Chain A
Amino acid sequence: MTVSSPPVKLEKPPQNYLNWAFGIKSWLLTTDHKRIAILYLITVTLFFALGGLAASLVRFELITPQGDLMSADNYNKSFTLHGMLMVFFFLIPGIPAVMGNFLIPLMIGAKDLAFPRLNLASWYVFMVGGLFTMTVIVVGGVDTGWTFYTPYSSTYSNGAVILAALGIFAAGFASIFTAINFVVTIHKMRAPGLTWFRLPLFVWAHYATSIIILLGTPVLAITILMVGIERMFKIGIFDPALGGDPLLFQHLFWFYSHPAVYIMVLPSMGVISELITAFTRRRIFGYKAIALSSLAIALLGFLVWGHHMFVSGQSVYAGLVFSAITFMVAIPSAIKVFNWTATLFKGTISFTTPMLYALGFIGLFTIGGLTGLFLGAAAVDVHVTDTYFVVAHFHYVMVGATIMAYMGAIHFWWPKITGKLYNEGWGISSAIIIFVGFNLTFMPQFIMGYLGMPRRYYAYPDEFQIYHIASSAGAAILAFGYVLPLFYLLYSLFFGPKAGDNPWNAKGLEWTTASPPPHENFEETPIVTEEAYAYPVPQKAEVTSGA
């Protein structure tokens, strides 16, 4: 036995989940959802850094029109690695496995998730997936793009496709484990009095996300398995030369991977609902509409995958139907944006760091969502398919929305997680730097995409250079903005002032317990008697709505 959990009886600081037990073993074998969230936070940050590194290689290469920094092969490997790491190892687990893991039991007044050991297993399976992906880098990379289209991936690519597939397979199961935990916990472990329509919208969003993970991820898993089988045994499941149908792969892949976009963005919408209410000190406008629109997005999100395949050769009629349903998904998304905006109206807004991220989210998500409608229109899509327009669109949703919300969440709940306050001045500057850097990176990509710059090319005609330089410059600013919080957040960990239980004076059960929370989350199980976001109604509004 190694030295584990020595009984430190200082009695000075109150017991919390951080000083509850000590030693590496107490972390690696923990079943405490809060500690597992920290494990996820560290690993996910590492993967984000690696994915960012791959992205900077791509942006460096694209500064000049000629392919001079690296070979075409290495360029392909760089953007594949970037996509794989960011999508499967950062964006999908990001908010659910870190913030959701930490907060859901606290928000619903439970002691832990329903299956704590499954929760720990999720992290280990995730790490195995990460290990496979790291091995891929070591043995020479993979060049299929994160979409693994067949028959290139199954027959022709000589990269480490099977290893990469195993990595994604494992990461997928990690998220399935998390989702099972969330669904069961939200159904069965809410505190007395906490009815469904009293739940924070963060919890609703994670419930909807979990449903998507549960129904979608297994399909991706079996699809990847089939690609692996095809590659190993040379059965033409997806290879037209052997009687297979490559379109089937695309259908199965996007059946998961389109809803996966909502796996990335729904939790961030949950975050935004929390941030907006806390910093406008208002009840959310249209609680039920936002809650139910999460479920509507989960449901409709499963019926639009064909809009990734407008030019793939699927039937025109299928394309029409997919296009129509794609427009329908915009409705629940718009409901959310309008309700957040309406919540701001006449609110007492304070422009703190998390609030800046939330406001940035609303703007960027709106741009990302509206350009999604361009792409959902089959005729326009034909023109911009596989151009930088698409790249810019999904980065506005994935980075502009999801990462903004992730950063906002980290800042908002940092005092709860660590018990320390970070420096607001640094926080605000990094939020602004990220917002500026992001727009400078991706706005030019809309333009050059519309002008015809195809994605995934390492060399390009001179006329696009100006946009690429702007984009690369923006990426540098963006990278600086992402590195900055690493320093002042870590600094606050050691030197920051104590946060107190509720530094933002926000509503929600998680703010009623200590910061950092005790091992059991609450001294005694709370009893809920009011709605979510029960902020005091402002005087003027009371007069007007008094009738």
Chain B
Amino acid sequence: MAHNQPSVVAPYFRDIDQQREANTLGMWVFLATEVMFFGGLFMAYTVYFFNYPDAFHEGSRELNLILASINTFVLLTSSLTMALAVRSAQTDNRKWLIIFLIATIVLGLVFLGLKGVEYGEKFQHHLVPGPHFEWDGSFFYEVQLFFGLYFATTGLHALHMIIGVGVLTYFVFKAFRGHFTSVSYDPVEMVGLYWHFVDIAWVFIFPLYYLIDRTIQ
């Protein structure tokens, strides 16, 4: 299906520039709300970290640093492929657009898979808050709180990843049909912004949960 010029600009916009500016501003405004959304969890983290620093250090040591480090690398790389996908759309390079979109999806899925492995470990070690939570050391409730926040934050992050992967998959199909051209690449750029946001959120989550106490014992 060839891209038909008239349908690129919605009827309520004056021209394509107005449409593109509106889309871009809309996405940035949405990301601002996302920052505030995650901000609540970071606020709770900050308060309890200052209230219970020892418990948070002990909890942090139970997290799998190696898997999380690999995941950080995977996610940062996926941001690169995402950026390259946007570039390919802008330059009308459909083949590479599809390749980079798929690469981003695959990296996203790798991240989610490793995250799943990590969650599985926590289940096995009875570190999931709730009736089956077990903790031999001191600070039973405080460490449970740490893991509660850990699951809430990384879970919310993973949910954002899943939504991102879903949208990207849909976009692969649209890219196959030639929906994205150097004129109508906005949607790819918008999902790119979203993907980078999710990436940056992880850049904050990673040190706060995994790296707060890694001095050699």
Q: Does A159 contact B (CB under 8 A)?
A: no
Residue among A115, A188, A217, A233 making CB contact with B18, cutoff 8 Å: A188
Complex contact A226–B152 (CB within 8 A):
yes
Query: In chain A, residues 229-278, which have Cβ atoms closer than 8 Å to a Cβ of chain B?
Result: 229, 233-237, 242-245, 248, 251-252
Query: How many A residues have CB within 8 A of the partner chain?
Result: 41
Spot the interface stretch: B47-55, B178-186, B192-200, B206-214: B47-55
Question: Contact mask B29-43 → A, CB, 8 Å, 1/0?
Answer: 110111111111101
Complex contact B144–A218 (CB within 8 A):
no
Question: Contact mask B5-17 → A, CB, 8 Å, 1/0?
Answer: 0000001111000
Known: A217-B36, A229-B148, A248-B43. 6 other contacts (CB 8 A): A114-B22, A183-B25, A215-B36, A216-B36, A235-B145, A252-B40
Residues of chain B within 8 A (CB-CB) of A111 are 11-12
Residue among B33, B35, B44 making CB contact with A237, cutoff 8 Å: B44
CB proximity of B51 to chain A, nearest CB, Å: 7
Complex contact B47–A233 (CB within 8 A):
no
Residue among A113, A176, A184, A189 making CB contact with B33, cutoff 8 Å: A176
Q: Does A525 contact B (CB under 8 A)?
A: yes
Complex contact B145–A248 (CB within 8 A):
no
Q: Does A116 contact B (CB under 8 A)?
A: yes
Please judge, given known A-B contacts A184-B22, A189-B22, whether A242 and B32 are in contact too, CB under 8 Å.
no
Complex contact A234–B33 (CB within 8 A):
no
Q: Does B26 contact A (CB under 8 A)?
A: yes
Q: Does A221 contact B (CB under 8 A)?
A: yes
Q: What are 24 contact pairs spanning A and B, CB under 8 A?
A: A112-B12, A114-B22, A115-B26, A180-B33, A181-B26, A183-B29, A185-B22, A187-B25, A188-B18, A188-B25, A189-B18, A218-B34, A218-B36, A218-B39, A223-B40, A226-B152, A233-B129, A235-B144, A242-B144, A245-B47, A248-B43, A248-B47, A251-B43, A525-B14
Q: Does A214 contact B (CB under 8 A)?
A: yes
Residues of chain B within 8 A (CB-CB) of A183 are 25, 29
Complex contact B11–A235 (CB within 8 A):
no
Residues of chain B within 8 A (CB-CB) of A484 are none
Complex contact B145–A233 (CB within 8 A):
no
Query: How many B residues have CB within 8 A of the partner chain?
Result: 38
Compute how far the CA of A244 lies from the CA of B146 in the bound complex, rounded to whole angstroms.
Answer: 11
CB closest residue in chain A, given B43: A252
A: residues with CB less than 8 A from B are 110-116, 176, 180-181, 183-185, 187-189, 214-219, 221-223, 225-226, 229, 233-237, 242-245, 248, 251-252, 525
Residues of chain B within 8 A (CB-CB) of A184 are 22, 25-26, 29
Residues of chain A within 8 A (CB-CB) of B48 are 243, 245
Q: Does B137 contact A (CB under 8 A)?
A: no
Compute how far the CA of A218 lies from the CA of B42 in the bound complex, rounded to whole angstroms.
Answer: 13
CB closest residue in chain A, given B129: A235
Residues of chain A within 8 A (CB-CB) of B11 are 111
Number of A-B contacts (CB under 8 A): 111
Complex contact A243–B33 (CB within 8 A):
no
Q: Does B189 contact A (CB under 8 A)?
A: no
CB proximity of A526 to chain B, nearest CB, Å: 13
Q: Does B141 contact A (CB under 8 A)?
A: yes
CB proximity of B43 to chain A, nearest CB, Å: 7
CB closest residue in chain A, given B20: A188
Residues of chain A within 8 A (CB-CB) of B130 are 233-235
Residues of chain B within 8 A (CB-CB) of A236 are 141, 144-145, 148
Residues of chain B within 8 A (CB-CB) of A218 are 33-37, 39-40
Complex contact A244–B145 (CB within 8 A):
yes
CB closest residue in chain B, given A221: B37
Complex contact A234–B131 (CB within 8 A):
yes
Complex contact B36–A180 (CB within 8 A):
no
Compute how far the CA of A233 lies from the CA of B147 in the bound complex, rounded to whole angstroms.
Answer: 12
Q: Does B62 contact A (CB under 8 A)?
A: no
CB closest residue in chain B, given A183: B29
Query: In chain B, residues 126-151, which have Cβ atoms closer than 8 Å to a Cβ of chain A?
Result: 129-131, 141-142, 144-145, 148-149
Residues of chain A within 8 A (CB-CB) of B32 are 214-215
Please judge, given known A-B contacts A112-B12, A219-B37, A222-B41, whether A188 and B21 are in contact too, CB under 8 Å.
yes
Question: Contact mask B140-180 → A, CB, 8 Å, 1/0?
Answer: 01101100110010001000000000000000000000000
Complex contact B145–A237 (CB within 8 A):
yes
Compute how far the CA of A244 lies from the CA of B144 in the bound complex, rounded to whole angstroms.
Answer: 10
The CB with the most chain A CB atoms within 10 A, among B38, B145, B156, is that of: B145
Compute how far the CA of A4 lies from the CA of B98 in the bound complex, rounded to whole angstroms.
Answer: 39
Complex contact B39–A219 (CB within 8 A):
yes
Compute how far the CA of A157 lies from the CA of B193 in the bound complex, rounded to whole angstroms.
Answer: 41
CB proximity of B14 to chain A, nearest CB, Å: 7
Compute how far the CA of A533 lies from the CA of B130 in the bound complex, rounded to whole angstroms.
Answer: 61
Residues of chain A within 8 A (CB-CB) of B145 are 235-237, 242-244
Residue among B22, B129, B131 making CB contact with A188, cutoff 8 Å: B22
Q: Report, nearest first, the 6 A-B pairs whose CB atoms are least far apart.
A: A222-B40, A235-B148, A243-B141, A218-B37, A218-B36, A111-B12
Compute how far the CA of A214 lies from the CA of B28 in the bound complex, rounded to whole angstroms.
Answer: 11
Residues of chain A within 8 A (CB-CB) of B26 are 114-115, 180-181, 184
Compute how far the CA of A72 lies from the CA of B114 in the bound complex, rounded to whole angstroms.
Answer: 52
Residues of chain B within 8 A (CB-CB) of A110 are 12
Residues of chain B within 8 A (CB-CB) of A252 are 40, 43-44
CB proximity of B16 to chain A, nearest CB, Å: 13
Compute how far the CA of A233 lies from the CA of B21 in the bound complex, rounded to whole angstroms.
Answer: 43
Compute how far the CA of A248 lies from the CA of B44 in the bound complex, rounded to whole angstroms.
Answer: 7
Complex contact B129–A234 (CB within 8 A):
yes
CB proximity of B157 to chain A, nearest CB, Å: 13
Residues of chain A within 8 A (CB-CB) of B51 are 245
Residues of chain B within 8 A (CB-CB) of A180 are 26, 29-30, 33
